[in-house]
Structure formats: C-alpha cells, structure tokens
A and B are shown apart, each in its own frame.
Chain A
Amino acid sequence: MGIEGIGARVARKEDKRFITGRGRYVEDMVVPGMKYGVFVRSPHAHAKIRSIDLSAAQEMPGVIGIYTGPELKADGIGNLICGWMIHSKDGSPMNMGQWSPLATDTVRYVGDAVAIVVAETRGQARDAADAVVVEYEELPAVTNVVEALKDGAPQLHPEAKGNLIFDWEIGDSSATDEALSQAVHITKMHIVNNRLVPNAMEPRAALGVYDMAEDHYTLWTTSQNPHVARLVISAFYNVAPENKLRVIAPDVGGGFGSKIFIYPEEVVCLWASRKSGVPVKWTADRTEAFLCDAHGRDHVTEVQMGFDADNRMVGLKVDTIANFGAYMSLFSSSVPTYLYATLLSGQYAIPAIHCNVRAVYTNTAPVDAYRGAGRPEATYLLERTVETAARELGVSPAELRRKNFVRTFPYQTPVIMNYDTGDYEASLNAAMQAAQWDTFPQRRDEARARGKLRGIGMSCYIEACGIAPSQAVGSLGAGVGLWESAEVRVNAVGTIEVLTGSHSHGQGHETTFAQLVAGRLGIPIEQVSIVHGDTDKVQMGMGTYGSRSGAVGMSALLKAMEKVEAKAKKIAAHQLEADENDIVIENGEVKVAGTDRTLPWAQVALAAYTAHNLPAGMEPGLKETAFYDPQNFTFPAGCYIAEVEIDPDTGKTEVVQFVAADDFGVIINPMIVEGQVHGGIAQGIGQALLEGCHYDATSGQLITASFMDYTMPRADDLPSFQISHQTTPCTTNPLGIKGCGEAGAIGSPPAIINAITDAIGNNNLTMPATPNVVWKLLHASV
C-alpha cells in the first residue's frame, strides 16, 4: 500500500480552493439572463390568508413576475411529502398534512412561503416583496410539543386530529413492564432534548433554469443528495420528468442534515423560471436560514430504567413526544423512530425495551435530521439515565456501564438492531486512562481551593451508520433504497475519474475516495479525480448523510475498482502471456507476481482504448460501474469523558478537558476523521452548553432568529480535544469502515451534562446549561 492509500494522513485535495476562497457555490453561479427571486413569507405563526394584493408590488421597478400558491396549484405542482411511511401502533398510516410549496389558504409557521417575487436585482425583488399586501386572519398558535397535544390546543392540519401525526411503538411493552415490576431499583428521568438550528456556514440557495427550447430544467441547489432531489421533484412535485431535469449540487458549505431535504424554494425557483421565462436564483439570508431550515431534536421524554439486585439492567421503558414543526419534512418521520428508538439498547445488554413515540405538529419550522438524527436523542437519555442510576445505586458510573456492556457479538437487541462487532470496554478504558480518571479527586480539591466546582462525566455511545440495507429500510417504511453507486473511468493515459453518488459538503471525499483508488493501484493521488453532485454526469446515487459515504459509498467504489482491476489483469495476462490469476497490481504496475514481467498501469489503460491487442471477445475501454447495497448498519461506538469547572458566582461552565475514544472501524484518513470528531464534539458541546432554539409560546415568533440570540459554539468555548481510536473492523462491509461523521455530536452532550451535574450536585439540569441555568440550580440547592 502506497503512502497515500488507506490510513495515510493525506492533506485534503479540496482545501486549496476552499481556503483560498475559490470554491464555487450556488450563489457564485451566474447564467445568462439570470434574475433574482425573493420570497414573501408569513410574519405569523398561524393564520388564514384572506387575500393577496400584488397590484402595488407589480408596479415596482424591475419586477418581472410575482407568483402565488393558487397559481402553483393550478399548474399542477405537487405538495411536499415525507418519504418514510410510519404506521401507528393501531396499524393506521401516519397523518400527513398538506404542505404546498407556496401556501394557498393557511400559513402554519413564521417564515412559511406565500409568494415569490422575480426581479432584475435582488434589491428590487426585496423591495417588491415588501410591497406585496397579504391580509391575514390570525389564528392561535402552539409551539410547545406538550401543549400541542392537549385538548383545546390550536389545530394545524385537518388530517392530524389533536396534532398527532402518529403514535408508534417498538419493543415488547408487556415484557418490559414485567421486567420493571421485578426490578430492585428503577431510575426515572424526565429528559428534554433541546431544539437546535443547524446553521451551516453556507445558507441554502437554489437557481432554477428552464430552457424553453428543450423543455428542460436545471436546478443548482445546496443539496447533500442531488439525485434524490431529482427523483422527488420529478416523481412527486410534477415539475418535470427525470430526463428533463438536471440537478447540480456544486460546492456545498456544510449541511449537517439540513440540506438532505427538498424544500419549497427549490421547487418554486424551477416553476418560477418557467413562469417568468428567466433563470431564477434565490439565496437565503441568515434570517431565512434560522426561520426555514429544518431544525433538529426537540424531544420530551420520560424514561424508566430497571436494575436487578446485581445492578444489571433488566428493562428500559421510554415514552417520547417529538416535535415535527408545521409540516412533515422529507425524512422527518424516520428520525424519532427508526433512527432513535432502535438505538435505545446503547452499549448494554438490556433484555426488555419498549419505546413509544408520539409525533406532533406545532407552529414551528419543520424538524428533520440534524447531525446524528435520533441517535443523539437516544444517547442523551440513556447516558444521563445510566449516570443517574450509578449515583442512586452508589456505584461508580464506569463500573455500572462495564457490568452491563454487550460482550458477545453479533448481538441482537430487542429493538431491531443487530450489532456486528465492538469492544466497548476498550474505549472505556482508553478514555479513562487519557482522562486520568483515577486522579480526578485531586483535581476537584485543587479547583475547590480556587473557588471553582469541578466535575467529571462520561458517556458511552453507540450509533448506527451506513444507512442501510435497502430491503430492510423498505420494510420499515422508507420510500427509497439506501445503496450507493460508483463508476470508475480509467482514461487512456491511466488517470482516473471516479463518479460517486455520495456528495461531499465538507467531508473530504475528493481526498479519501482518491486514497482508496491510489492505494489499490499504487499511483499518485493527483492522478485520481472525484466527480460528484451532478445528475447529468453521475449515475443515480443516494447522497451523503448518516455517516454513510465511507461505509456505503466507498464500498461501491471498491466494487467498481475490483471490476476495473479484473479487466486490467485480463489485458495484462493476455499481453504478458500469463495466467490472469498470477497477475497483481502494485506500485503503478500490472505484473506477473514474483517475476520482472510487468506493464505500467498507464500502458494497460492505453491498451484497453487502442484495442489493438485485447483478449479475444473483450470489449474495448476500461470503465466500470457498481452498486453496493449494505448488509447491515454499521455500529460506531465509543466513550467520551468531559471535565468541567464551574464558577459558582456566575454559573459559567468551562470545559477544561474533553477525551474521545472512538471505534470507527477502519480509518481511511486519520486527519479527516479527527476533523470530523472535532466538529462533532463542537456541535455536541454547543447543544449541551450554548444552543437553544426558542419560540415565543403564544405568538410563535422565533426569538432566537439571529446570532445575537442563538449561541453558536466558538473556538474559545472549547478545549483542545484528546482523541484516540480503538478499532474493531466492521464485519458487514468489505472495507471494515463504520463511519465517523456524527459520533462527536452524539456522544458529547451527556458527557458534558453528567460532568456539570457531578460538579454542582444537582441533577435537575436541562440543555443548554447556560450560566443562568447553572447558577439558578446552584442557588436553589443552597
């Protein structure tokens, strides 16, 4: 394996253009005749639209056209859909309300799109949007998920009585009740998982281009999965059939899940381009990003965890209410169900688990997958509950976890998942050693002498990545398969283009995918280019989310490479007059093993294209495609330990140490993996200490609608992270990769909160643990 193959710390190929400001994002795209779209949005959380008066706005300078919901409906544009069917426990399908890309008669959250103005300049479009007069009849609004379920709460959709979308369960309810009734100790927790705003650095944008001559559409968009966008837009929204729609997601500045979904603006820009006859570009400003990007988390949960006399877990009962916002976003229904409750066994052998989830509409932005998507919610409630149980039982948190770890694999949980492999104790031990766990009491005493409260907390997380076997997710309600594709095009000079259905929006695929190819052939990494994000260039693919690109996307690439290599070996065997089974490829050469009979890689490639001397019957060319459907999810796991110091005078928490010990399976590029872990932990610490999305309970206005009020983590909020890896290769994909993109955000919040509650001696803590919140608890406990 060459130095730039699997395991090498190769500097990211894409960073030159990103760091020098030469990336090309949707907002950078300019096409001939392009004009600007600005949306008219609802200022109310819930209202009937009485009338829309466009007369003044249409007379404004530069206005080309203004288009509204009724026209969109008249043109047959479909409602936005949720692509994962969930059935309630009574067998009834989920109650999905209608979501028109432009509201027709009712608006249901602040920011709901009502009309689009297309004008010569963005400023003119905005001026005209301000001049559109919409007469609203305000209705009562509800933003809190618990309130929304109560009798008499404002009702959002006629399809969902009582605002209830579904009432779903998993696991064995009676077995769990029985186990809890036999338990010697039950730990009960009320857990709130705070709502988050994704805040990718690049706001969403869409450029819709209708070509009247060809009756063809092009959509440039900030998407994590352009092929899925094309599929959904053509199959459900009736904009154009797939062969008449090209979707391009160029450089995308971060997604964290929020750019998986198809949003109203993408559909409307395409439609408005046809209506107006000009290309229409819309770019969200930061306020629109806060108001309209799909938010994350927002669960309210009751937990009961039962133990026997030997402190072994006997049962876990979980009852969750999940806020879905005003509409069901594309994959919203999968997040608090199959991406959440299936992980409730954690790293532990729990014989009986039951989880009930009620999904609820509120007058807030739609909620969908955000880094970790369901798994952070599961991990947070489990790891806070385990930590609390250890305190109640008077045993060390490490020992309680150790006692209950799954130790034999494969392990079938009571909630669908089958863990293929892992070594949870290895990560626990590594983390405790790195954190100098045993000498913590000295550090606590030293801090106390300085007037600070020091605490330590741990979290042992498991998550499911590499989503997922298509047949399995299909049986669980997914509307799509979740395989991945790759095409390897060897050029006649031996250089290589890889076309992948994965999409990089910060993950570094241009480097890691190239490492796989360069390492297998022993050619310089510069000779391998990665192409992604354009449905006209790349075969159908499923995109990037759920830490799947390594485990699924690179497995597809490996399959395609194996086909290419097999053909190359046949060519070389023919030309070297050897048996193809004796041919090996290494160091850029195709040769007969153990001899000096060799052909340079480039020469084999050239031979494939000159076709002057190929084996009889062989087609010319060297290009192969593969589709890879995973056998199982992958199960990254690890142990995180946080140490905090709290200023009792102000309640301010400083994270003084953070240790991450992760098992991601085989690692392609350690530097990129460390970057993913750093970013994930930063987001997790953000959730634990800083980030809280607040809506006004009665008006439904978003209070945290800017960085003045929504606290993003900054460098000085974070310590240096100590990171290590314990590797058990995944057994269900050929590369042994598990995935690393979300672990940091999943594992870190409970570690931080457990450390704070340890420091302050009060467990009644909710996220974000702001100085005011912590100070109040300290004050209350005096």
Chain B
Amino acid sequence: MYQTTYHRASSIDEAVRLLSEAEDAKLVAGGQTLIPTMKQRLAAPSDLIDLRHIPELKGITVSGNSVRIGAGTPHAQVADSQEIRAVCPAFCELAGVIGDPHVRHMGTIGGSIANNDPAADYPAAMLGLKGTIHTSKRDVSADDFFVGLFETALEADEIITAVSFTAPQKAGYAKFRNPASRYAMTGVFVAQHGDGVRVAVTGAGENGVFRATELEARLAGSFDEAALQGATVPSSGLISDIHASAEYRANLIVVMAKRALAAANG
C-alpha cells in the first residue's frame, strides 16, 4: 500500500467538499474492493474519504412496495431485512450470497454499485428491478447508471446516497460462481413487473451488467421456466477467459435464468 491521507466525513456535504478538494481522492465505505486493490499497489489514491460515519447513508425504508436503502448499508443487513423480504425476497437472497460472511458484513450496497464490477451481484438486481440510484446531485435510473466495466454515470464529485426500487410482482436470482474467485461467473436476476419482464445478467458481459432481451421476449407471455425451453442467447459480447468460454457463459445465462425463474415462482 502506498501512503494516503485518511479523512472521516461526518456528512455528505463534507464528503463532497473533501472529494473536490483532494488531488486524487477515493471514497471508501466497506473497502472490500478498494483496500485489497490498494494493498496490491494497483490503486494509489492521494486521499481516502471514509463514508462509514455519515448517518444519512444508513438505513432501510420500506413503504408499501417502495424500498429505499441507504448507500452505506452492508449486505448482511439487507440480507437480514424482514421489511425488504416481505416485499422482495429475491433481493435479500441475492444480498445473502454476495462474497462470504466477512464481505457481507463490511461491504455496502453503495460501494458495490459505484464500483460496478462486471461480476458483482447488485448491479443485476438494480437493472432487473428498474431501480434508481440516488446521489448527492440527482437521481439516476439503473438503465442509465451502469455504463461499462467498472464504469458508471457517476461524476467525479458525486456520491451515491441511496438506492430505491418498487418491488416487482415476482423476482428471483441465480448465479453460477467462478470456481476460484467465487464471484458470479454468470448471475441472472429475473423480475416480473406490472408492465413487463426483466432479465438482467451479471458476470458474463464484456461491458458488465446487461439485459437478456431474447429471454425477456420469451417470458413476456409466461413468466415460467417452461417458456425458456430451447432458448439460446448469443455468445457475442460475452466474456471468454480460462474459467469459462463465451459459449459456456451463454449456456449459463439460460440455465441460471431458468433457476432464477424457479426461485421466483417457488
């Protein structure tokens, strides 16, 4: 790790101010990606701005079908939230299979979404749920937020404050883990909304999370795994690496979609 200057922000305004003042600052919440990256000397921020002590970033609010989660909420708290589980159990299930217990107790939803790791779980849920990302400046729809590999619509001086979504009628998540890293090698989040079906895929796309429109079309009429019988998705644009070829990932997308549907309908 290189030398860095640590700041503890006590409000969003203070964090934004520190962010704009520093030469090359990074925000840190759970630090589950940033700290190992810094220890490997692959990141060398001049300043670290700690968001963990900002009360505005904490807490889960469920009102009717509307769910709002503070950006600083750790995965374990989401996984254990009875309020969320009552309206969208799939979201809790997804949070409960992120990383391992250590990661789930340190990592935060805001950090995961801001990092937009192509194998992270939350981006699939946010895209599948037509969610909204609330920042210190504005509200951004998930459709516009996830731009590419580790790339989002966030501006340099913008901080995620919360995420929100309206609970769908049904939803499910299934992932196939990378044998080594145990990140999603392919993860699929399916959701049935009043106005249509979404199938969001993580871990497989060369540009990060995306919607499998072929599968959405098949499910529009019947939100059931039988509707995916014989379905395929193109392998172009999918990641190919030592663990999984693009063709294999294309297969996993369909298989995981079926399993997500089974979970949603189960």
**Which of B1, B41, B245 touches A772 (beta carbons < 8 Å)?**
B245
Residue A650 at the chain B interface, CB threshold 8 Å: yes
- Say yes or no: A709 contacts B248, CB within 8 Å: no
Contact stretch, chosen from A453-461, A700-708, A746-754? A700-708
Q: Which residues of B contact A690 (CB under 8 A)?
A: 179-180
- Say yes or no: B180 contacts A776, CB within 8 Å: no
Render B1-35 as a binary contact track against A, CB cut-off 8 A, 1 for contact.
11000000000000000000000000000000000
- A710-B180 contact, Cβ under 8 Å, with A703-B242, A770-B243, A772-B244: yes
**Which of A704, A771, A776 touches B242 (beta carbons < 8 Å)?**
A704
Q: Which residues of B contact A776 (CB under 8 A)?
A: 245, 248
Cβ distance B229 to chain A, nearest Cβ, rounded Å: 13
- Say yes or no: B179 contacts A708, CB within 8 Å: no
- A649-B180 contact, Cβ under 8 Å, with A694-B242, A772-B243, A776-B248: no
Cα distance A130–B180 when bound, in Å?
29
Residue B251 at the chain A interface, CB threshold 8 Å: yes
Cα distance A336–B253 when bound, in Å?
43
Residue A775 at the chain B interface, CB threshold 8 Å: yes
- Say yes or no: B248 contacts A775, CB within 8 Å: yes
Q: Which residues of B contact A652 (CB under 8 A)?
A: 176
- Say yes or no: B243 contacts A649, CB within 8 Å: no
- Say yes or no: B255 contacts A709, CB within 8 Å: no
Tell me the nearest residue of chain A to B254, going by C-beta. A649
Residue B163 at the chain A interface, CB threshold 8 Å: no
Cα distance A776–B249 when bound, in Å?
11
Render A685-706 as a binary contact track against B, CB cut-off 8 A, 1 for contact.
0000010101000000001100
- Say yes or no: A772 contacts B180, CB within 8 Å: no
Please report which residues of chain B, range 234-266, place their CB below 8 angstroms from some CB of chain A when the two chains form the complex: 242-245, 248, 251-252, 255
Cβ distance B211 to chain A, nearest Cβ, rounded Å: 22
Q: Which residues of A contact B242 (CB under 8 A)?
A: 692, 694, 703-704, 709
Cα distance A711–B242 when bound, in Å?
11
Tell me the number of A-to-B contacts counted with CB atoms below 8 Å.
47
Q: Which residues of B contact A710 (CB under 8 A)?
A: 180
Residue B181 at the chain A interface, CB threshold 8 Å: yes
Cβ distance A713 to chain B, nearest Cβ, rounded Å: 10
Cβ distance A451 to chain B, nearest Cβ, rounded Å: 12
**Which of A127, A707, A775, A779 touches B180 (beta carbons < 8 Å)?**
A707
Cα distance A690–B181 when bound, in Å?
12
- A650-B180 contact, Cβ under 8 Å, with A772-B244, A772-B245: no
Tell me the nearest residue of chain A to B186, going by C-beta. A650
- A650-B243 contact, Cβ under 8 Å, with A711-B179, A711-B180: no
Q: Which of A130, A692, A704, A771 has the most B CB atoms < 10 Å from its CB?
A: A771
- Say yes or no: B255 contacts A650, CB within 8 Å: yes
- Say yes or no: A650 contacts B176, CB within 8 Å: yes
Please report which residues of chain A, range 637-695, place their CB below 8 angstroms from some CB of chain B when the two chains form the complex: 649-652, 690, 692, 694
Cα distance A29–B181 when bound, in Å?
32
Cβ distance B216 to chain A, nearest Cβ, rounded Å: 21
Cβ distance A52 to chain B, nearest Cβ, rounded Å: 21
Q: Which of A123, A126, A712, A775 has the most B CB atoms < 10 Å from its CB?
A: A775
Q: Which residues of A contact B180 (CB under 8 A)?
A: 690, 704, 707-712
Please report which residues of chain B, range 179-226, place their CB below 8 angstroms from some CB of chain A when the two chains form the complex: 179-181
**Prevailing SS type, chain B contact patch:** loop
Tell me the nearest residue of chain A to B40, going by C-beta. A287
Cα distance A651–B179 when bound, in Å?
12
Cα distance A712–B41 when bound, in Å?
24
Q: Which residues of A contact B181 (CB under 8 A)?
A: 707-709
Cβ distance B161 to chain A, nearest Cβ, rounded Å: 31
Please report which residues of chain A, range 748-782, place their CB below 8 angstroms from some CB of chain B when the two chains form the complex: 770-772, 775-776, 779
Tell me the nearest residue of chain A to B249, going by C-beta. A772
Q: Which of A126, A690, A703, A709 has the most B CB atoms < 10 Å from its CB?
A: A709
Tell me the nearest residue of chain A to B183, going by C-beta. A708
Tell me the nearest residue of chain A to B244, going by C-beta. A772
Cβ distance A631 to chain B, nearest Cβ, rounded Å: 45
Cα distance A459–B1 when bound, in Å?
48
Q: Which residues of B contact A287 (CB under 8 A)?
A: 40
Cα distance A513–B196 when bound, in Å?
71
- Say yes or no: A772 contacts B248, CB within 8 Å: yes
Tell me the nearest residue of chain A to B259, going by C-beta. A649
Cα distance A779–B235 when bound, in Å?
15
Cα distance A711–B179 when bound, in Å?
6
- Say yes or no: A650 contacts B179, CB within 8 Å: no
Cβ distance B32 to chain A, nearest Cβ, rounded Å: 13
Render A121-156 as a binary contact track against B, CB cut-off 8 A, 1 for contact.
001001100100000000000000000000000000
Cα distance A126–B245 when bound, in Å?
37
- Say yes or no: A775 contacts B251, CB within 8 Å: yes
Please report which residues of chain B, range 34-89, place their CB below 8 angstroms from some CB of chain A when the two chains form the complex: 40-41
Please report which residues of chain A, range 387-404, place their CB below 8 angstroms from some CB of chain B when the two chains form the complex: none
Cβ distance A143 to chain B, nearest Cβ, rounded Å: 14
- A771-B255 contact, Cβ under 8 Å, with A703-B242, A709-B242, A776-B248: no
Cβ distance B180 to chain A, nearest Cβ, rounded Å: 4
Q: Which residues of A contact B251 (CB under 8 A)?
A: 649-650, 775, 779
Q: Which residues of A contact B176 (CB under 8 A)?
A: 650, 652, 771
Cβ distance B5 to chain A, nearest Cβ, rounded Å: 16
Cβ distance B40 to chain A, nearest Cβ, rounded Å: 8
Cβ distance B155 to chain A, nearest Cβ, rounded Å: 30
Cβ distance B3 to chain A, nearest Cβ, rounded Å: 8
Cα distance A707–B36 when bound, in Å?
13
Cα distance A287–B42 when bound, in Å?
13
Cα distance A712–B255 when bound, in Å?
26
Tell me the nearest residue of chain B to A694, going by C-beta. B242
Q: Which residues of A contact B243 (CB under 8 A)?
A: 709, 770, 772
Q: Which residues of A contact B41 (CB under 8 A)?
A: 126, 130
Cβ distance A549 to chain B, nearest Cβ, rounded Å: 33
18 more A-B residue pairs beyond the given contacts A708-B181, A776-B245, with a C-beta to C-beta distance below 8 A? A649-B251, A649-B255, A650-B176, A650-B251, A690-B179, A690-B180, A692-B242, A694-B242, A703-B242, A709-B181, A709-B242, A710-B180, A712-B180, A770-B179, A771-B248, A772-B244, A772-B248, A775-B251
Q: Measuring CB to CB, which residues of chain A are less than 8 angstroms from any residue of chain B?
A: 123, 126-127, 130, 287, 649-652, 690, 692, 694, 703-704, 707-712, 770-772, 775-776, 779
Pick the 3 closest A-B CB pairs, nearest first: A711-B180, A708-B181, A649-B255
Q: Can you identify 17 A-B contacts, CB atoms within 8 angstroms?
A: A127-B2, A287-B40, A650-B176, A690-B180, A692-B242, A694-B242, A707-B180, A709-B180, A709-B181, A710-B180, A711-B179, A711-B180, A712-B180, A770-B179, A771-B179, A771-B244, A771-B248
